[in-house]
Structure 1
Amino acid sequence: MPATPTEKDPSELSPVKFSRLSKRGILLGLSLAQLIVLAVAIASFVIGMMIGGAWALYAATVWVPALAITFIPAGGRPIVEWAPLALVWVWRSVTGQRRYRARISRPRPAGTLALPGDAASLRQYTDPVTGAVMVHDPHHQMLTALIEIHHSSFVLLDPGEQERRVQAWGRVLATGCRSGRIARIQVLERTIPDSGTGLAQWWAEHGTDDGSWVADTYKQLIDRAGPAGERHESTLSLSLDMKAAARQIRAAGRGLKGAAEVLRQEMRTLTTALRAADLDVTEWATPARLAIMLRTAYDPAVTATLDRAGDLGQDLATAGPVAVEETWDRLRSDSAWHAVLWISEWPRSLVFPGFLSPLLLTSGIRRSFTLLCDPIRADLAARDVRKRKTEHISDRTQRQRIGQIEGAEQSAELTDVLQQEADLVSGHGILRFTGLIAISAPTSEELETAISAIEQAAVQASCETRRLVGQQAASFTAAALPLCRGL
């Protein structure tokens, strides 16, 4: 029986819509930094006019540049917004923090990861119950575990099955909002060079090597095509907020032992939800598995060697890069150049759940796509929504008072806030999504070509991307490593 206009056909795929990135400032669309510099400009202009004479010219050297950096945009935002990033970049350059060299003769402290930058403080803890590795961030008080996920091709499923998978995935994400103890969920999908061991193993198990011309030709094809191919890996990382779970941690024995017990409970809940969503999950990652992922992220050329080398490279104490050098808009590590793009705007119109297919199915490019999901507690989310709603209404009143016309962008942002409020009232959770794409290539020229291809694929996916600058090292750690690192 056909569906009525008020009923939805269960075999029909529903489109989705993302909230816009809020660009509303504190007052009349201006941020705090803009308001401070604008106040300095107005004060210097008034003082110069009051004193008069040559002081008016002297004051112009202050308020004219101040107005310029307040309102003139550069790279999509006002010049004044670049000041904190530029100052941090200069400080890191002066103190030598943009270069990293592994010191072979000086062993690292026991239990730490051999990673550069602020990730050097991360510590490993092996859970005695599951054998999984848990990464402890002592500065942000987070404990992270990761699991590898296998799934069928979403784009090849029929619309009804796709809709069912989307609803099931929504329930997986909802588990992170309900407990209030999850700090972040990271979904990492990356392409890595295929060593050809899978094809060779299949031939050894199912092929007939009878010395014929067909068998010889098939073996030659496997030898040539196997290493030239690529495969996709998907992992999901779960991070426990040790501050929010402090009471449960104390009840479980305190310290990392108690935190591991609490995280284990969340891991069991998440595993059940993943299996209910028809996702094949393996055991939670061991130290050896994490070591391979870290090493191949910084040194892609060694991937095929590690696939064939057995236990080689599976020590977390030496899994980091040998050398890293960061520039303004890219990063260079052992055997590759890297650059990170930020998805600055998700699709503004209605799209179907497979809208990222042009981006994720781009072949011939070494890249990692990361989706960071930060759950927000229901009470904090309701408070934040009420605050933003009040601010939007106040800004609208202020614009009407001074005769400024409200644009469609402000109206759309208010509509998004009202929709989030309705979702909260209906019992849904709210997550903050951050999309990052780490692109790697053997040379700088090939990197630029790969970036252009990924940017074009993002356009086809109705997404806007922006190349991050001045923070490529931290961005690469967040985008390419399954450690639930944020920006």
Structure 2
Amino acid sequence: MARKHSDHDQRDDGVLTPAKFSRLTRRGVLLGLSLPQLITLGAGVLSVVGALYAGGGVLLVYTAPVWVACAVLTWVPVGGRKLIEWLPVAFRWVWRVTGGQLLYRRTVVKPRPAGTLALPGDAANLREFLDLETGAAMIHDPHANTLTAIVGLSHPAFVLLDPGEQERRVTAWGRVLATACRSGRIARLQVTERTLPDSGTGLAEWWAEHGTDDGSWTATTYGELIERAGPAGERHATTLSLALDMKNSSRQIRTAGGGLRGAAAVLRQEMTTLVAALRAADLTPSEWLTPGEVAVILRGAYDPAIAATLERHGELGRDLATAGPVALTESWDHLRSDSAHHAVLWISEWPRSMVYPGFLAPLLLSTGIQRTFSLVCTPIRSDQAARDIRKKKTEYISDAAQRAKIGQIEDASQTAEYQDVLQQEADLTAGHGVLRYTGLISVSAPTVDELEAAVSAVEQAAIQASCETRRLVGQQAQAFAVAALPLCRSV
């Protein structure tokens, strides 16, 4: 999946300054054509040339289905993509359908291997590791070679702060991200913001602390009202996931003892640094999430109807071995698990114009919709970012020369992309970090009709936030595991 680039301004002059996201690069290998387009176009040209040399016009007519199909695959767009780009998606979908991979049913009688997570699809490879020093649940992904820890965050309402305070907090958050960029050992950061039915634990805790439960009729009635009123509300929960790149940290891991214990020791160092940076940014991190707390998040994502009950009763649903769904059925553009239907949207375009830091408020503050917004940040090493920028500049200059030779007019979007590359180069030279962003929105509802209505509302909210969203197809289950679960994975 293509990801967005963004640079973070480090100004702190007390004035709220707008920011700009880089455009999604759409340049191809040659003249705006991607490699699959060049292959199909080359096949079509070869069939035409071969027919003209071999049999002239008659053979050209006979081979018409070949070169016409190649032309259609190369240039005809469907859903924002050329037809040739849909072929891998369609092929993978057919392969999964014939292999019976769209259905997941938990085997109740046969227990899972110890330390594994009961998740469907490729997430079944994840392993649990308990860090005895911090009590944190660390999730090991053997395929991506990462080790992830999760921390909860609490913060004041950003949109209610004055502009000077907003600017100060944005600058402080930029320093948090810059810390991750300079480390060189961080694979990804994931910020997850979820809307949840209020379990009523806050009311219950207030009544237990301040109420007078003397057994009277008034006290009994008041306690019953608090017990029943909790799930009627809605609250927001934010987590930050930190993934250690075990490949880039191999030397430090060997020094710390090797294996998962050595990786956990290295990850603890990054966790300490991150917590200090978060507190400096006036964010309040909780303790790193335990296996039971992670299990509640995973279970609530796949079974939203039970989420409030799990939070009200702290002893239930605290086992990672049973935290996944009981059943999951994936369709082309949505999936169903346990008590809800889900759909995942990808933020394909961030704002192209200058926007202020609170531009996502229409999306994040929408009410009456059960959704999870995930922002996956991938730090790019300075040397790698410099090579990538040089490559883009070379490609743009060569494409511009080719267009000039054939008399093609320069497109304004191509010029804007080149200006974005130059701005990234200037920021990198000034010492700022480069991050790649992926924004995903998971929407859940009890029925398909309610899901479609919720998706439409989220799409409208994204338009108000100057963002463009696309509904992912053919990979909803994998995308849901990234968007709804704070496990720092990629899709």
- Give the TM-score normalised by structure 2: 0.95
CA contact (8 A) 2:12 2:167 kept: no
Aligned to 2:50: 47
CA distance in 1: counterparts of 2:13 and 2:326, whole angstroms: 53
SS in 2 for 1:185: strand
CA distance in 2: counterparts of 1:61 and 1:10, whole angstroms: 64
Aligned to 1:206: 210
Does residue 386 of structure 1 match 2:390? Answer: yes
Q: CA deviation at 1:203?
A: 3.3
Aligned to 2:322: 318
SS in 2 for 1:205: helix
CA contact (8 A) 2:187 2:245 kept: yes
Aligned to 2:477: 473
CA distance in 1: counterparts of 2:93 and 2:405, whole angstroms: 41
**AA partner of residue 381 (structure 2):** R
CA distance in 1: counterparts of 2:131 and 2:227, whole angstroms: 40
Aligned to 1:31: 34
CA distance in 1: counterparts of 2:368 and 2:351, whole angstroms: 25
Q: Once superposed, what is the RMSD of the aligned Cα atoms? A: 1.8
Q: CA deviation at 1:52?
A: 2.3
**AA partner of residue 454 (structure 2):** A
SS in 2 for 1:354: helix
Does residue 287 of structure 1 match 2:285? Answer: no
Does residue 119 of structure 1 match 2:123? Answer: yes
Aligned to 2:3: none
Aligned to 1:377: 381
Where in structure 2 are there 5+ consecutive unaligned residues? Answer: 1-10
Aligned to 2:359: 355
Does residue 181 of structure 1 match 2:195? Answer: no
**AA partner of residue 120 (structure 1):** A
CA contact (8 A) 2:12 2:168 kept: no
Q: How does 1:216-235 map to 2 (within 5 A)?
A: 222=226, 225-235=229-239
Q: CA deviation at 1:213?
A: 11
Q: CA deviation at 1:200?
A: 2.9
CA distance in 1: counterparts of 2:83 and 2:293, whole angstroms: 44
Q: CA deviation at 1:166?
A: 0.1
Aligned to 2:418: 414
CA distance in 1: counterparts of 2:319 and 2:220, whole angstroms: 38
SS in 2 for 1:124: strand
Does residue 21 of structure 1 match 2:24? Answer: yes
**AA partner of residue 482 (structure 2):** A
CA deviation profile, 1:149-192 (whole Å, cap 9, x unmatched) = 01010011111110000000001011111011110000000011
Residues 409, 128 of structure 1: CA spacing in aligned structure 2 closer, same or farther, 3 A cutoff? same
Q: CA deviation at 1:128?
A: 1.6
Aligned residue pairs total 480
CA deviation profile, 1:371-423 (whole Å, cap 9, x unmatched) = 00000111000000011011111111111111100111000000000000001
Q: CA deviation at 1:67?
A: 0.2
CA distance in 1: counterparts of 2:35 and 2:283, whole angstroms: 45
Q: CA deviation at 1:10?
A: 2.9
SS in 2 for 1:343: strand
How many percent identity over aligned positions?
A: 67
Equivalent of 2:431, from 421, 427, 430?
A: 427
Which has the larger displacement, 270-279 or 194-203? 194-203
Aligned to 2:77: 73
Q: CA deviation at 1:216?
A: 9.1
Residues 121, 210 of structure 1: CA spacing in aligned structure 2 closer, same or farther, 3 A cutoff? closer
**AA partner of residue 478 (structure 1):** V
Which has the larger displacement, 204-213 or 395-404? 204-213
SS in 1 for 2:359: coil
Aligned to 1:191: 195
**AA partner of residue 458 (structure 2):** I
**AA partner of residue 161 (structure 2):** L
CA deviation profile, 1:39-91 (whole Å, cap 9, x unmatched) = 00101111112222542222101000110111010000101001111111111
**AA partner of residue 246 (structure 1):** S
Aligned to 1:451: 455
CA deviation profile, 1:238-276 (whole Å, cap 9, x unmatched) = 001111011111111111111111111110100000000
- Give the TM-score normalised by structure 1: 0.96
**AA partner of residue 310 (structure 2):** L
CA distance in 2: counterparts of 1:475 and 1:147, whole angstroms: 22
CA distance in 2: counterparts of 1:280 and 1:316, whole angstroms: 26
Residues 178, 229 of structure 1: CA spacing in aligned structure 2 closer, same or farther, 3 A cutoff? same
CA distance in 2: counterparts of 1:110 and 1:211, whole angstroms: 46
Does residue 61 of structure 1 match 2:65? Answer: yes
Aligned to 2:244: 240
Q: CA deviation at 1:208?
A: 6.0
CA deviation profile, 1:193-223 (whole Å, cap 9, x unmatched) = 1122212322343346799999899767645
CA deviation profile, 1:25-46 (whole Å, cap 9, x unmatched) = 1101000000000000101111
Where in structure 1 are there 5+ consecutive unaligned residues? Answer: 1-7
Does residue 250 of structure 1 match 2:226? Answer: no
Does residue 143 of structure 1 match 2:143? Answer: no
CA distance in 2: counterparts of 1:103 and 1:220, whole angstroms: 38
CA distance in 1: counterparts of 2:68 and 2:51, whole angstroms: 12
Equivalent of 1:273, from 277, 282, 285?
A: 277
CA distance in 2: counterparts of 1:404 and 1:291, whole angstroms: 57
Aligned to 1:130: 134
Aligned to 1:346: 350
